[in-house]
Chains A and B, each alone.
Chain A
Amino acid sequence: DQQVKQNSPSLSVQEGRISILNCDYTNSMFDYFLWYKKYPAEGPTFLISISSIKDKNEDGRFTVFLNKSAKHLSLHIVPSPPGDSEVYFCAASERGKLIFGQGTELSVKP
């Protein structure tokens, strides 16, 4: 029973273009959503988060959108340098416990 799903295992974008990573969830009790980036041989690093009472949060190059009626969130990264090529995880929080999606591997091509 996958409560948080990232249906695209991989995504390829051109350098300088916008990257859009998607995430769907099933549990309406989630109160907070987060995005993490993972480098090889390291633990995930926190990027940006959004409360369930908001629909948008922006921090530098990262913007997260939340559509509660569709139980969908997305991460927009603008622009995308080659250094952004890594695995991105979305996660949802229910009373502090984080449930993670499967991850999307972003590849930024020059």
Chain B
Amino acid sequence: NAGVTQTPKFRILKIGQSMTLQCTQDMNHNYMYWYRQDPGMGLKLIYYSVGAGITDKGEVPNGYNVSRSTTEDFPLRLELAAPSQTSVYFCASSYSRDRRNSPLHFGNGTRLTVT
């Protein structure tokens, strides 16, 4: 039972490069989320999706793009990497947005460094 899988685990980018962080889940969850965690800070919501074809901005969307072509996959795209995007990125999924019975399931994160 894989749950939420993120790739890669680590990546170093040069300023201005682009990359896609991959996220896939096998729980048939409708809702998927991307968070970033900076040192000493909580997780900040970047983008989320309530189902295939539907995405919306979170708290800190600038510099990122997402797509949701299937229920399973929710890739996060960085077009022009900047040092401010150095962070640990977490993908998460949930069955619904009702938190009474649907907490978020997180992947193990991608540690990204932009130099």
Residues of chain A touching chain B, judged by Cβ–Cβ distance below 8 Å, are: 4, 6, 9, 31-32, 34, 41-46, 49, 51, 89, 91, 93, 95-103
Stretch from B63-71, B78-86, B103-111 contacting the other chain:
B103-111
Q: Which residues of A contact B94 (CB under 8 A)?
A: 96
Known contacts A4-B42, A43-B90, A89-B43; is A98 also within 8 Å of B108 by CB? no
What are 22 A-B pairs at a CB distance below 8 A?
A9-B40, A32-B100, A34-B103, A41-B109, A42-B106, A42-B109, A43-B106, A43-B107, A46-B104, A49-B100, A51-B100, A91-B42, A91-B43, A93-B97, A96-B94, A96-B96, A98-B33, A99-B42, A101-B42, A102-B41, A103-B40, A103-B42
Determine which residue in A43, A51, A95 has the highest number of CB atoms from chain B within 10 A of its CB, and name it: A43
Number of interface residues of B (CB under 8 A): 28
Q: Which residues of B contact A46 (CB under 8 A)?
A: 103-105
B45 touches A99 (CB 8 A): yes
A96 touches B108 (CB 8 A): no
- Report the minimal beta-carbon distance from B87 to chain A, rounded to whole angstroms: 14
Q: Which residues of B contact A41 (CB under 8 A)?
A: 108-109
Q: Lowest 7 A-B CB distances belong to which pairs?
A: A96-B97, A43-B106, A100-B42, A32-B99, A46-B103, A100-B43, A93-B99
B43 touches A44 (CB 8 A): yes
B4 lies within 8 A of chain A by Cβ:
yes
